Structure 1
Amino acid sequence: MNKLIFGALSALTLTAGAALAEYPEKEIQGFIQWGAGGSTDTVMRSVTPHAEEALGGTIVMQNMTGGVGAIALNHVSGADADGYSLLMGAENPLLYKVMGLGDKDYSDFIPLILLARGTPLLVANNDAPFDDYQGFVDYVKANPGEIRIGATGPGGLPSVITAMMNEVEGDLDMIAVPYDGDGPALTAMQGGAVDVMPAVLGAAIEGVRAGNMKALAVFDVEAAAKLPDVPIVTSFNEGYNTFLPWGSFFGVFAPKDTPEDVVAKLSEAFATGAEHPDFLALMDDRGFKMMNISGDEAQAFLDKWQQGTTWLLNDAGLTKASPEEFGIARPGE
């Protein structure tokens, strides 16, 4: 009888021990939406070692490319919601539905953390006949169809900022000149092939500092620390407050049914990792603005970003479907 009691107690002890096991019990898989060497890859591989240290676990990183990031998103969305499959992503999934790239987006996930975002900057060729943002707007309106603006394709930063300017200022009649990325477009602008170019601050800042191009405005609600003398666009037109802050961003996501305690541990670990001096230095060096937000604050940012961006692209005729079809309300409604 004593042996039976002892055996039962031992079984209960083992069961209780298993129930109380601390997450993580095994390796966590982190799936990066983009290829090796890109911005998302660099950001995620820089912050994750510091998050691992805070978490007390191992996160195995792997690049899963394809479908403008949709392959990785669909893979993690279909994985068990147990905290062992994470999506290391950027902003692109918020456009999948309206651009006809997929039927899932971040509404199928919990934002564990939004790490940092890029800041858009409008720059111009040094010989352009204007020196600030208001001068640019006035010139375009007085000379329709004359100014050439660099572009990188639907959904890219230049297309969104151009659509934003048209929405806030009224249609600005410019000639869009397409390039394969902001690097070639900025090079072309310095050579005089285009007059203006919306670009992320990190890509344009060295050209501005070297005097190879002039900065007209920072598309943000506060000044950029690296270019404090360049005015923010809201100082010219408060209508931009509807859409800003805006920019490409980087975040870590888990399937939406992941347990709350696991979400809390992961969010805390990545928040700690994001404060590591090495990571902060990398973000500063690349011109990214730290966010380090999670929970309701992160979700509010994602919702505003998706609302503003999808409707801007829709009104510019660049989407495959209306945001309304997916329950995405127009900003202000």
Structure 2
Amino acid sequence: MKIRLLGAVAAIALLAGGPAGHAADYPAKDLQGIIMWGAGGATDTVARAVTPLVESALGQQIVLVNKPGGTGAISTAFVAARPSDGYTLLYGAENPQLHKVLQLSQMDYADFYPVNILAHGVAVIVANNDTPWKSVKDLVADVQKRPGEVKMGSTGPGGLPHVVGSLLKTVIDFPVTAVPFDGEGPGITALLGGHVDFMPAGLSAAAEHIKAGRVKVLAVVNDGEIAALPGVPPITADFEGFGKYLPWGPFYGVFVKRDVPDEAKAKLVAAFKQAASDPKFVDLMVGRGNIMMNIAGTEADEFLGKWQSTTAWVLHEANATKASPAEFGIPKP
């Protein structure tokens, strides 16, 4: 009886040691990577490009799983519910920083540790090739002539298309009908099939379609031309008032729960830092119009806070939020 009792106590002690007790051996098994958006979108593309390089650095495989839905709320909730052992990674974009003001979730990246903010991107406005528009000015004129009839591909509240559309509405009358999809990949597929007429999207998601001539790009959501798309005008060429929101764009990062052991965080930070410095990955990202960041920890938290402050308050002042950023302690920029 005494022997069995001692054995039970020893087993409980091992369990109580939890993740911290095994952090020195981390990673001792394969990891799981939860991708916030669907296959073919910008976040998915970035995740699948960087992961093989990270696997080499860690010496373990990262099994990638797409878990879209709720504009990123489903994937963040899933990762938050997993053990704090560093074996579940969240590959995410900017969307959770708006979840509170849009009342999609009570979580944002304050609940996660930024292993790496890999890069930030530039948005573009792309249209189906059969549409008559040659510029955003043409698009807006048609939208105003046929209110509610022009269909915009979207990824739901807080997604990049929703934010760009909301910012446009603060500058001009823009009565479009938004059609939601589970990520930019499915949205662009719908655009190719003529199910929607246009879509604001991250250049990373749209780049190959633009190069192949499968869609036409009307403008870059920037205050000047970019090297990746020579000759494509910035949105300010038609609507100068949009300039007050620029520069603005999506970003791509990798996160774990805040309370993951420091030893595991350090190993992940080192692996992703090395992977994001690899010339093959850098060439891919820059070639798709992204700007490399490769930052982690405190520096990344500062970036995340600034992005949230700027975007949440802009949307609130555009009457595009369901709650004030002030309710959640989000400071005005």
| TM-score for the superposition, normalised by structure 2 | 0.71
The counterpart of 1:24, out of the listed 2, 21, 26, is: 26
Residue equivalent to 2:12: none
Cα distance in 2 between the residues matched to 1:74 and 1:186: 32
Q: Where does residue 232 of structure 1 map in the other structure? A: 234
1:290-309 correspondence to structure 2 within 5 Å: 290-309=292-311
Q: CA deviation at 1:107?
A: 0.5
Secondary structure of 1:97's partner? coil
Deviates more, 1:140-149 or 1:237-246: 140-149
| Structure 1 residue 292 displacement after superposition | 2.1
Q: 1:272 to 1:174 in 2, by over 3 A?
A: same
Determine if contact 1:149/1:174 at 8 Å carries over to the other structure: no
TM-score, structure 1 as length reference: 0.71
Q: Distance in 2 between matches of 1:202 and 1:66?
A: 18
Corresponding position: 1:176 with 2:182: no
Conserved in 1, the CA contact under 8 Å of 2:114 and 2:300? Answer: yes
Structure 1 residue ranges without an equivalent (≥5):
1-17
Paired letter, 1:273 = A
Q: How does 1:1-333 map to 2 (within 5 A)?
A: 22=24, 24=26, 26-27=28-29, 29-34=31-36, 37-39=39-41, 40-55=43-58, 57-63=59-65, 65=67, 68=70, 69-79=72-82, 81-123=84-126, 131-133=134-136, 139=141, 145=147, 148=150, 150-152=152-154, 153-167=156-170, 169=171, 171-176=172-177, 178=179, 180=181, 181-185=187-191, 187-188=193-194, 194=197, 197-205=199-207, 208-209=210-211, 214-220=216-222, 223-233=225-235, 237=240, 240-247=243-250, 249-260=251-262, 262-283=264-285, 288-315=290-317, 317-330=319-332, 332=333
Code of the aligned partner of 1:269? A
Aligned partner of residue 240 in structure 1, secondary structure: helix
**Does the CA-based 8 Å contact 1:33-1:71 persist in structure 2?**
no
- AA at the equivalent of 2:29: E
For the Cα contact (< 8 Å) 2:167–2:318, is it kept in 1? no
Preserved contact between residue 311 and residue 323 of structure 1 (Cα < 8 Å): yes
Identical amino acids, percent of aligned pairs:
40
**Structure 2 counterpart of 1:86, one-letter code:** L
Separation of aligned partners in 2, 1:273 and 1:206:
23
Greater Rg, structure 1 or structure 2?
1
Query: Is residue 186–residue 204 contact of structure 1 (8 Å, CA) maintained in 2?
Result: no
- 1:24 to partner: Cα distance: 2.3
Q: Flag the 1:154–1:78 CA change in 2: closer, same or farther, 3 A.
A: closer
Given that 2:23 and 2:261 are in contact with CA atoms closer than 8 Å, whether structure 1 keeps it comes out as no
Q: Choose 63-72 or 263-272, whichever is displaced more.
A: 63-72
**Is the contact between residue 133 and residue 217 of structure 1 (CA under 8 Å) also seen in structure 2?**
yes
